[in-house]
Amino acid sequence: MTSSSSPSSLLFVIVGSNEPLFEVDLQASSQPISDAATRQSYFVLHSALDLVERSASNQMYLKIVDKVNQQQVSTFLTAGNIKLMLLHNVHQNKSEEAIRQFFQDVYELYVKFSMNPFYAYDTPIISEAFDTRVRALGRKYLS
């Protein structure tokens, strides 16, 4: 893969008010992604954050908020301003409906998880059960 082509990646990140709370690579491929590709993916995701902050819509699902080269960032904003963000590639052709379903199911998972009185809101999520289920949702809707 030359350095000019954009990496094919499917990255899902949950971002709180100060820091990322959860990250997972939903790509099913077994080939390891190069370091440069991963850094670029994170950069695109985080620069899209600025655009999310400025959106005034009262809808939670914000669809595609940023497009860089071939990469697109879709975002879902919860009531507490927690951002669920998905980085995907144009070539992957994920339908908006599939992404919406994915976000809605992860949102439900997130709300349930935050009901745990031992989980401090807006802190990193380190539950294995949560991680497994998000990956399962990724396989169900996005592959």
Partner 1 sequence: MSQFLSNSTILDRPVGRSQRSAEQNVSLSAFSYLFSEMVQYHQNRVDSVSALEHRLEAAGYGVGLKVLELLAYRARDYTRQTKLMNMLQFVSTTAWKALFGKAADSLEKSIDHADEFMIVDYAPITSTSVSVPADLGGLSVDAYISGIIAGMLQGAGFPARVTAHTVEEGDRKKAVFLVKFSASVMSRDATIIG
Footprint of partner 1 (CB under 8 A):
56-61, 77-82, 104, 107-116, 120-122, 127, 129-130, 133
Nearer to partner 1, 31 or 57 (CB): 57
Return the structure tokens found at 22. Answer: 């959860």
Burial classification of residue 31, based on how many CB atoms lie within 10 Å of its CB (0-12 exposed, 13-18 middle, 19 or more buried):
exposed
From residue 49, give the alpha-carbon distance in Å to each of 11, 108, 136: 14, 22, 25
Nearer to partner 1, 39 or 108 (CB): 108
Nearer to partner 1, 42 or 113 (CB): 113
Distance in Å, CB of 134 to partner 1, minimum = 10
Rg (CA), the chain: 15
| Count of positions (residues) in the chain | 143
Largest CA distance in the chain: 48
Distance in Å, CB of 71 to partner 1, minimum = 25
Nearer to partner 1, 34 or 81 (CB): 81
CB under 8 Å to 57, separation ≥6 — which residues? none
Distance in Å, CB of 46 to partner 1, minimum = 19
Distance in Å, CB of 143 to partner 1, minimum = 21
